A and B are shown apart, each in its own frame.
Chain A
């Protein structure tokens, strides 16, 4: 069974940093591209960042470029998001989401989400 479990969220002050983790199981993590998607309270979904299976390709939304860093450790089957210079508008539930290999499209499996609150 495919599982993605986020951790590392919480309350942080504006300008602070936080590192999110996404532990995975049930699939060959090294073969899959991975993403972070967020959802501000009561709002819609926003794609944040993508990393390819071998980490060759990395993309960010303009809203987080230069402040967030995505990475993956294929040996630990884990995805990470280092978030620096956090702003109030980064407050959201953050989801890790897998890109499929055997079908087209994006985000075939999602974690349960983790809340990040940026407030003084």
Chain B
């Protein structure tokens, strides 16, 4: 199975900060990677697909980059509604696997 290692597992940031979350795959996955946001008690929401394509309706402050084994999710200017947990997902080969999550908290 492909292991997805996400870092950091949590971070504290202020409104307006630039935030970067990293996901590393245990083997090459081309750009078969998505990023998801989950708020407490809610279903996840897709933000990014194909490593860098923005899901329709998602604010442009979210961006993704990377390929093969190293990927990043960047929030250019953190907003109050962005405090949540973020997950990466690889879908290059079964079983699809998620990173362990990054909880973004208010500083």
Interface residues of A (CB under 8 A from B): 37, 44-47, 50, 59, 61-62, 95, 100, 103-108, 110-113
Chain A residues near B89 (CB-CB < 8 A): 45, 47, 106-107
Shortest CB–CB separation between residue A65 and chain B, in angstroms?
Answer: 10
List the 3 shortest-distance A-B pairs measured between CB atoms, nearest first.
A105-B49, A110-B43, A47-B96
B interface: dominant SS: loop
Chain B residues near A46 (CB-CB < 8 A): 98
Chain B residues near A50 (CB-CB < 8 A): 94, 96
- Per the 8 Å Cβ criterion, residues 91-106 of B in contact with A are 91, 94-101
A37 to B91, CA, bound (A): 13
Shortest CB–CB separation between residue B29 and chain A, in angstroms?
Answer: 12
With contacts A44-B101, A112-B43 taken as known, whether A103 is within 8 angstroms of B49 at the C-beta atoms is yes
A sample of 22 inter-chain contacts (CB < 8 A) reads A44-B99, A44-B101, A45-B36, A45-B98, A46-B98, A47-B96, A47-B97, A103-B50, A104-B50, A104-B53, A105-B46, A105-B53, A106-B34, A106-B91, A107-B34, A107-B44, A107-B46, A107-B89, A110-B45, A111-B43, A112-B43, A113-B43
Chain A residues near B101 (CB-CB < 8 A): 44-45
Shortest CB–CB separation between residue A55 and chain B, in angstroms?
Answer: 17
Contact of A45 with B44 in the complex, beta carbons under 8 Å: yes
Point out the residue from A47, A59, A108 that lies within 8 Å of B98, measured CB to CB.
A47
